Each structure stands twice: as structure tokens, then as C-alpha cells.
């Protein structure tokens, strides 16, 4: 006999070759041979190693070879097997453990005969005993259940119980919990949302009674129905007390007449709709420090000095605290304050809102966490929202510390921190401004409309619409003044062209200095902020193209610009070292070199929407991406 993998095996030496059989196999192959040799030296009771088996294994062995219980009891001891099995093995082991602990206190106690016999039997006996100790305890109910099974089923159940006991002894769940507590970091508490996301509250709609038919209400019908339909929308009722002809009823409702455009008559005060008087005043003090000097001239100077390597571009990251919902609708334009010592960005959306965000301003949640004397009001978070326009903001620009904005409502305004108001510069009730730019001092405005017309207006003089010049056959999408000399500007249009113009010669019948044509609408055209007269266009033909001032193509970058109906059109811009940045349909920001090589695609778990508008800070310290949900993402 031998034990292999916790199971007793019967070994036979057949002409020098050792063969091992399981008890079930031995019952078939060897039992007939052993029965014939009963009482001889080769009988079932004379097999070597049976005494070293555990009680359960000996019981299975005797059952397999058909040894009567009386003979088995005489061989295994004076107590019959049934009486030995009456007490579960786990109780016997527990009693033995208790007895062993009691005997351990008495150092002079004699060695038990059982232990001495085990020691004399050698290591094989100890191995069998350890194997039995590792097995799962078998209750009386389990003994009765196993008694009704065939040998294979009993072996399978015993093996399952043994495996479960061994797994329980390893204490794997406890080890796993200790490992998690030691090595796995706990998730960080999410930071409080900034901007409108923190102030949005779900409005409770008034309860409205559910509509139901007369049949559901249990009210009988009066029998009235339509008997006939006549021309002109008239009907004749059937079984009605009044037999007159009813109508006419119009088949379609007339479209409501458009409401006349409400034109503003004066300035609008600097009162944020999501802030308070104290926070507005503190932010105005910050902006007042930057109202002197030429901000547009400073921007190209910073951009010319700024240099970003490919390694630095790849390291740009987005933190959760650098995400804020600043407007209620999709953002159409954005620009960093070029000279502010703090990181300040202005945005405009599709409903005429203008938002200003002091990015590095600590929220009241953060300030209260650092200083116990600060009250956590949950109001101040650096986002200030206004609505100086009533429709789509078509352009905004910082000039001498003042923010100039234009929109489709035909209104141009200037936010002056010194006066704490949005001044009214121009209002037209018959024009929709679709493109906008201004000079570095803010004195000259450049406006384009949906018909391809262009106006250049000096804010020091009375605006005269007779100066309008038609530049394109379709809507002007963008206008951008060359930032270093401010003598030429580039325009893009839905007529599939982008043209360069000399602002000093803009008059009826003027011809462009150069023109580039694409296979589809050109969504935008912008000069490089570094002042090297490089032009970048974004086309609906899925291309980004670089040109020089003569509109000679320098580079073409294939890029998916098909945003569909519900996403704002993509508009690529240039950053330091003429780095091309453009939003991606994969919820990322694609970054390319001026040669068209893709450096990286910036993405983050905190960017949950497509960023249609992107812009670099003039000094290259940050990149802002705007989404159609009104959020600003700051990569730095």
C-alpha cells in the first residue's frame, strides 16, 4: 500500500514492474485474485501498509475487497469499524489536541503508545497521519450521505472537502485584505466642481395632473363624432344637438412672427450672475492692474520668445482642479489675458454669455480647508459670468487690458475694468456680425457678416455703414489681423477661399493680395502669434494647411474635421514655435509641429467632451481647450 496525492493506492510487483491501482480500480482488477487466496499470505488482510492507513482509508480498503467487518475489526483493533466511525473524525482530532495540551504541562508524562507506534512506523506513517489531519471534518450527516454513494462519488466528495479545508487553512481572503491595506492607495476625494457645475440646482417641476380619456375616467360619451369633412377645413358633427357646420379649422398653424430684435441703449454694469459684489470687486481690482500698455503688441513678443520642445508638449497634463464649466452653452471663442500676472481667460458662448475665469484662484472650499477662519460659502471659485449679448458670440479680443466682443445680435461691446461696465460701441438691428477682430489699441474694429461684407470702424468716429466692402460671396467665418505690423488681415469664408488683404486699401472693388482655394468650406484662418506671417487654415475637407503670407502652401496635415450637426466646428490655432493645436473627435487635443509631424494627442479622464476650440497662452505656459458643454480645460 502507498499514499499518492492524499489517496491510498494498492501496489503490485509484477515481474519486477510496480503497478499502482486506486481502490476503485483494485476492486475490479485485484479483488477476485485476493478472494481466491483468502487466508494465504496474499489475502486482503495480509497486504503490507494497511495498518498505516487512516481509519477512513482502511474502511474504504476493506469495503473494496469485501472484507467482513468482524475480520476487519479483529485486524484493526477490538472496536468494530461502525463504532469507530460513530464519532466524527473532527471530534476525535479535537479531543486528541486537548489531551496533547494537557500532557504538555507534565514533562514527566510517559510517551503514549500511539505516539511511540507512530514513531516506530517511520515517516510514511507520519505522512498518512498529516494527510488525514488536513482533510475536512466529516459530520454525522456527511457520513450518512456518503454511505449511500458509490466509491467514485465518495472519493470525489472527500477530495472536494479536503481541498476546501486546505484553501481555508491558507486564509487567502485575509492575506488579500492585508495586501490591499498595505499597497493599494485609497481613491482620492474628488475636488469640488468649479463654475456653473457647482451652482447648478435641479429645479422641481410643478406637478401636472395626468391626462386621461373619458373612457379611463369612466365618463360615458355623448355620442358626438365627425360625420363629414368639408373643403376649407370645415366639419359636420354626427348625432350632435347642434347640427350647424363647425369650422373652418386651419390644417396647419401659421408660423409665429419673429420678434423684433431688442437693441441695447447703453452700457451694462459689471455684475456677475453667479458671483457676488465682493468677488466682482476683487476681480476688477486684478484687471485694473493690467489696463495699461499695449497687450496685443506684448502677445507676439511673448510668443516669439516662447519655445516648447516636443518633450515639453508631451508632458502637458490636465488636473481635475483645472476644469470648470464657465458658460451655459457651447463655447465659440476664447483667449487668455496676454499680460496678466495671474492666469485669466475670457470665453464667449452661443447664447451671448461672456465668462471670465481666474484659473488659479482658490475656491472657498480650498481656502476653508487651509484656513479655519475662512467661511466655506461655496460661491467664490474664480468664475464670473455675464450676458452682454443676446446671441452667438462671433469674436472677442483683449486690447489694452479691455475685452472687446461682438455677436450675431449686431452689437459690439468693450469691457472696461476702470469703469466696471460693458460699454456699448456699436449696435445694428439689421446686421449679424459673424467675424470680428480689432487693433492692439482697440481703436479700430474689423467686422464681417453673413453675406461676405466687411466693415472697418474707428471707435473715435461715428460709425458709417456706407464703408461696407464685399470681400466674399458667402459668410465670413473669421477675420484675423497680423499681430506684429497690423497692416494685413486674413479672412476665411464659406465660398471655399481664404484671402489676405491690405487694410489700407480696403475699398469697393478691392482685390486680395493672395488667395488660397480649398475643396470645401474654410472654417478658419489665423496668423501665427509669433509675428512671422505664417497662416493656418482649417478646412471642412479634413485638412489643416500652413501658408506663408503669399498663400503659398507650406504643409498639409490630414485631420478629421467632420463634426456633424451637434458639435461646434473645429478651428485649429498656432502656438509657440508654430505648434499646431486642434481638437479631436476622439475627445483629445492633437498637437503637430510646423512640418506636420504629430507630437502627441493630449487626453485625460477629465476631458469628457470634444474640444472644438483650443488656444495657447502667448508665453506657452498653458493650453486651453473649450467644449460644446461650456467647459474649459487647462493643460499645463
124 Cβ partners below 8 Å, 6+ apart?
A: 3, 49, 52
Q: Based on the domain organization, do 399 and 540 belong to the same domain?
A: yes
Please check whether residue 381 lies inside any domain of the structure: yes
How many domains, in total, are found in the chain? Answer: 2
For residue 143, what pLDDT is reported?
66
Per-chain mean pLDDT for the chain: 79
For residue 161, what pLDDT is reported?
86
Residue 344, phi then psi, degrees to nearest 5: -125, 135
Q: Based on the domain organization, do 162 and 292 belong to the same domain?
A: no
Q: Based on the domain organization, do 282 and 162 belong to the same domain?
A: no
Comparing 9-13, 147-151, 626-630, which segment has the lowest mean pLDDT?
9-13
Q: What is the DSSP string of 403-470?
A: EEEEETTSEEEEEETTTTEEEEEEE-SS--EEEEEE-TTS-EEEEEETTSEEEEEETTS---GGG-EE
Q: Is the dihedral of CA 129, 130, 135, 136 positive or negative?
A: positive
Comparing 285-289, 348-352, 412-416, 535-539, which segment has the lowest mean pLDDT?
285-289
Q: What is the DSSP string of 552-603?
A: -EEEEEE------SSSPPPB-EE-GGG-EEEEETTTEEEEE-TTS-EEEEE-
Please check whether residue 188 lies inside any domain of the structure: no
Residue that is last in its domain, among 133, 150, 166: 166
196 Cβ partners below 8 Å, 6+ apart?
A: 274, 325, 326, 327, 328, 383, 385, 630
Q: How confident is the model at residue 126 (pLDDT cuts 50, 70, 90)?
A: very low
Q: How confident is the model at residue 475 (pLDDT cuts 50, 70, 90)?
A: very high
The better pLDDT of the pair 54, 409 is held by 409
Q: State mean pLDDT over 421-440.
A: 93
Q: State mean pLDDT over 600-618.
A: 94
Q: State mean pLDDT over 308-313.
A: 91
pLDDT digits (tens, 9 = 90+) for 480-489: 999 988 999 9
Q: Based on the domain organization, do 155 and 296 belong to the same domain?
A: no
Question: Distance between the two ends of the chain, CA-based, in angstroms?
Answer: 75
Q: Are 634 and 322 in contact (CB under 8 A)?
A: yes
Q: Based on the domain organization, do 162 and 274 belong to the same domain?
A: no
Nearest to 357 by CA among 616, 630, 571: 630
C-alpha distances (whole Å) from 566 to each of 138, 330, 479, 562 are: 68, 10, 24, 11
pLDDT digits (tens, 9 = 90+) for 311-336: 999 999 999 999 999 998 999 999 99
Please check whether residue 309 lies inside any domain of the structure: yes
Cell 476546501 belongs to residue: 164
Q: How confident is the model at residue 300 (pLDDT cuts 50, 70, 90)?
A: low
Q: Are 532 and 514 in contact (CB under 8 A)?
A: no
CA angle 62, 63, 67 (to 5 degrees): 50
Q: How confident is the model at residue 219 (pLDDT cuts 50, 70, 90)?
A: confident
Percent of the chain with pLDDT over 70: 67
pLDDT digits (tens, 9 = 90+) for 447-472: 999 999 999 999 888 766 667 899 99
The better pLDDT of the pair 152, 95 is held by 152
Q: How confident is the model at residue 117 (pLDDT cuts 50, 70, 90)?
A: very low
Please check whether residue 628 lies inside any domain of the structure: yes
Residue that is last in its domain, among 133, 151, 166: 166
Tell me which H or E stretch contains 331: strand 331-336
Q: How confident is the model at residue 303 (pLDDT cuts 50, 70, 90)?
A: low
For residue 1, what pLDDT is reported?
59
Q: Based on the domain organization, do 333 and 462 belong to the same domain?
A: yes
For residue 136, what pLDDT is reported?
47
The better pLDDT of the pair 340, 374 is held by 340
Cell numbers standing for residue 224: 358626438
- Tell me the C-alpha distance between 80 and 84, whole Å: 6
Top-ranked range on mean pLDDT: pick from 221-225, 428-432, 452-456 = 452-456
580 Cβ partners below 8 Å, 6+ apart?
A: 536, 544, 546, 557, 572, 573, 574, 591, 592, 593, 594
CA angle 150, 156, 160 (to 5 degrees): 145
Q: Based on the domain organization, do 26 and 153 belong to the same domain?
A: yes
Please check whether residue 218 lies inside any domain of the structure: no
Q: Based on the domain organization, do 151 and 279 belong to the same domain?
A: no
Q: Based on the domain organization, do 294 and 160 belong to the same domain?
A: no
Comparing 61-75, 348-362, 508-522, which segment has the lowest mean pLDDT?
61-75
pLDDT digits (tens, 9 = 90+) for 587-598: 999 999 999 999
For residue 445, what pLDDT is reported?
94
For residue 306, what pLDDT is reported?
77
Please check whether residue 237 lies inside any domain of the structure: no
For residue 409, what pLDDT is reported?
93
Q: Based on the domain organization, do 447 and 317 belong to the same domain?
A: yes
**Domain extent at residue 141:** 2-96+118-166
Comparing 49-53, 197-201, 224-228, which segment has the lowest mean pLDDT?
197-201
Q: Based on the domain organization, do 381 and 518 belong to the same domain?
A: yes
CATH number, domain with residue 421? 2.130.10.10
**Residue 610's Cα: distance from chain center in Å?**
12
Please check whether residue 387 lies inside any domain of the structure: yes
Q: Based on the domain organization, do 158 and 275 belong to the same domain?
A: no
Please check whether residue 395 lies inside any domain of the structure: yes
Beta bridge partners of 383: 357
Amino acid at each position: 500500500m502507498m499514499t499518492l496525492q492524499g489517496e491510498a493506492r494498492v501496489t503490485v510487483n509484477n515481474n519486477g514492474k510496480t503497478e499502482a491501482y486506486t481502490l476503485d480500480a483494485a476492486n475490479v482488477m485485484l479483488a477476485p485474485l485476493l478472494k481466491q487466496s483468502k487466508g494465504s499470505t496474499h489475502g486482503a488482510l495480509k497486504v503490507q501498509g494497511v495498518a498505516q492507513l487512516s481509519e477512513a482509508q482502511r474502511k474504504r480498503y476493506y469495503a473494496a475487497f469485501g472484507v467482513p467487518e468482524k475480520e476487519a475489526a479483529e485486524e484493526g483493533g477490538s472496536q468494530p469499524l461502525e463504532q469507530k466511525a460513530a464519532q466524527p473524525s473532527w471530534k476525535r482530532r479535537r479531543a486528541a489536541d486537548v489531551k496533547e495540551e494537557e500532557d504538555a504541562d507534565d514533562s514527566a508524562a510517559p510517551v503514549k503508545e500511539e505516539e511511540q507506534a507512530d514513531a516506530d512506523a517511520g515517516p510514511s506513517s507520519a505522512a498518512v497521519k498529516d494527510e488525514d489531519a488536513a482533510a475536512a471534518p466529516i459530520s454525522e450527516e456527511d457520513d450518512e450521505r456518503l454511505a449511500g454513494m458509490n466509491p467514485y462519488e465518495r472519493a470525489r466528495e472527500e477530495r472536494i472537502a479536503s481541498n476546501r479545508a486546505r484553501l481555508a487553512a491558507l486564509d487567502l481572503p485575509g492575506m488579500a485584505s492585508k495586501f490591499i491595506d498595505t499597497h493599494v492607495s485609497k481613491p482620492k476625494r474628488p475636488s469640488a466642481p468649479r463654475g456653473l457645475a457647482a451652482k447648478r440646482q435641479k429645479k422641481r417641476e410643478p406637478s401636472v395632473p395626468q391626462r386621461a380619456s373619458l373612457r379611463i375616467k369612466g365618463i360615458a360619451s355623448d355620442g358626438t363624432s365627425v360625420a363629414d369633412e368639408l373643403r376649407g377645413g370645415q366639419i359636420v358633427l354626427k348625432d350632435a344637438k347642434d347640427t350647424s357646420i363647425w369650422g373652418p379649422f386651419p390644417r396647419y398653424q401659421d408660423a409665429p412672427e419673429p420678434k423684433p430684435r431688442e437693441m441695447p441703449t447703453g452700457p451694462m454694469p459689471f455684475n456677475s450672475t453667479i458671483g457676488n459684489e465682493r468677488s466682482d470687486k476683487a476681480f476688477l481690482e486684478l484687471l485694473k492692474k493690467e489696463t495699461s500698455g499695449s497687450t496685443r503688441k506684448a502677445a507676439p513678443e511673448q510668443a516669439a520668445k516662447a519655445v516648447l520642445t516636443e518633450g515639453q508638449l508631451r508632458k502637458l497634463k490636465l488636473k481635475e482642479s483645472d476644469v470648470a464649466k464657465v458658460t451655459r452653452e457651447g463655447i465659440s471663442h476664447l483667449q487668455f489675458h496676454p499680460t496678466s500676472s495671474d492666469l485669466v481667460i475670457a470665453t464667449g458662448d452661443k447664447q451671448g454669455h461672456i465668462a471670465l475665469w481666474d484659473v488659479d484662484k482658490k475656491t472657498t472650499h480650498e481656502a476653508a480647508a487651509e484656513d479655519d477662519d475662512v467661511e466655506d460659502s461655496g460661491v467664490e471659485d474664480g468664475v464670473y459670468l455675464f450676458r452682454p449679448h443676446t446671441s452667438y458670440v462671433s469674436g472677442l479680443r483683449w486690447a489694452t487690458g479691455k475685452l472687446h466682443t461682438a455677436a450675431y445680435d449686431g452689437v459690439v461691446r468693450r469691457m472696461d475694468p476702470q469703469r466696471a461696465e460693458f460699454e456699448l460701441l456699436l449696435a445694428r438691428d439689421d446686421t449679424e456680425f459673424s467675424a470680428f477682430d480689432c487693433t492692439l489699441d482697440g481703436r479700430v474694429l474689423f467686422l464681417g457678416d453673413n453675406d461676405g461684407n466687411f466693415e472697418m470702424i474707428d471707435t473715435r468716429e461715428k460709425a458709417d455703414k456706407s464703408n461696407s466692402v464685399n470681400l466674399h460671396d458667402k459668410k465670413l467665418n473669421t477675420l484675423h489681423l497680423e499681430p506684429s505690423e497690423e497692416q494685413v488681415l486674413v479672412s476665411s469664408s464659406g465660398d471655399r477661399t481664404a484671402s489676405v488683404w491690405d487694410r489700407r486699401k480696403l475699398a469697393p472693388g478691392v482685390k486680395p493680395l493672395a488667395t488660397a482655394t480649398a475643396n470645401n468650406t474654410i472654417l478658419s484662418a489665423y496668423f501665427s502669434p509669433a509675428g512671422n506671417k505664417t497662416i493656418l487654415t482649417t478646412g471642412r475637407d479634413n485638412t489643416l494647411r500652413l501658408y506663408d503670407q503669399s498663400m503659398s502652401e507650406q504643409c498639409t496635415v490630414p485631420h478629421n474635421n467632420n463634426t456633424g450637426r451637434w458639435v461646434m466646428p473645429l478651428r485649429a490655432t498656432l502656438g509657440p514655435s508654430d505648434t499646431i493645436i486642434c481638437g479631436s473627435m476622439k475627445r483629445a487635443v492633437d498637437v503637430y509641429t510646423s512640418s506636420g509631424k504629430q507630437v502627441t494627442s493630449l487626453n485625460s479622464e477629465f476631458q469628457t467632451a470634444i474640444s472644438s476650440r483650443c488656444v495657447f497662452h502667448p508665453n506657452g505656459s498653458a493650453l486651453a481647450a473649450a467644449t460644446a458643454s461650456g467647459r474649459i480645460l487647462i493643460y499645463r
